[in-house]
């Protein structure tokens, strides 16, 4: 793919780790995905709840459009209730917390590949 002419379609396209995570999750059974994503949602909610300062997070046009389009259920991950919920929770986090959760999830899912680098 010619990346110079590639236009991002989804808000998370600028996060290569999210793309890799979604590719891997697609291979999981729904029950395995459910267990993992339930933990991601719980962790993200705890982080948001324990924030010292109350912070409004601006979603921006891309994220709002993503939330709207997820209702159409055109993509495989839009049809997974746990993945839709996890993406919605992550969308509403501030950038720093979002990146921390994504980095941690990436390390958990790809620890064998990273270990062999």
Pick the range with the lowest mean pLDDT from 31-45, 66-80, 100-114. Answer: 66-80
Tokens of 62: 């891309």
Kindly report the pTM of this predicted structure: 0.72
Cα 66 to Cα 27, 34, 54, 112, 117: the distances in Å are 22, 21, 24, 31, 34
Burial of 51 (0-12, 13-18, 19+ CB in 10 A): exposed
More reliable by pLDDT, 4 or 18: 18
Cα 53 to Cα 24, 98, 99, 107: the distances in Å are 34, 16, 18, 28
HEC profile of 79-94: HCHHHHHHHHHHHCCC
More reliable by pLDDT, 116 or 20: 20
pLDDT, tens digit, 9 for 90 and up, residues 39-95 = 999 999 898 888 756 565 655 656 566 665 666 667 777 788 889 889 888 888 888
- What element of type H or E holds 64? helix 60-70
Query: With 70 as the cut, is the pLDDT of residue 116 above it?
Result: no
Query: With 90 as the cut, is the pLDDT of residue 35 above it?
Result: yes
pLDDT for 5: 46
Tokens of 80: 């997974």
Query: With 70 as the cut, is the pLDDT of residue 8 above it?
Result: no
Q: Tell me how far the alpha carbon of residue 61 is from its chain's centroid.
A: 17
Query: With 60 as the cut, is the pLDDT of residue 108 above it?
Result: yes
Q: Are 77 and 34 in contact (CB under 8 A)?
A: no
């Amino acid at each position: 793919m010619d990346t110079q002419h590639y236009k991002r379609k989804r808000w998370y396209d600028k996060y290569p780790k999210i793309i890799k995570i979604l590719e891997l999750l697609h291979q999981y059974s729904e029950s395995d995905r459910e267990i993992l994503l339930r933990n991601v949602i719980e962790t993200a909610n705890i982080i948001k709840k324990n924030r010292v300062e109350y912070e409004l997070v601006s979603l921006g046009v891309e994220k709002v459009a993503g939330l709207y389009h997820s209702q159409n259920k055109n993509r495989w991950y839009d049809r997974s209730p746990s993945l839709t919920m996890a993406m919605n929770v992550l969308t509403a986090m501030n950038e720093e917390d979002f990146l921390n959760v994504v980095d941690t999830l990436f390390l958990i899912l790809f620890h064998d590949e990273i270990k062999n680098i």
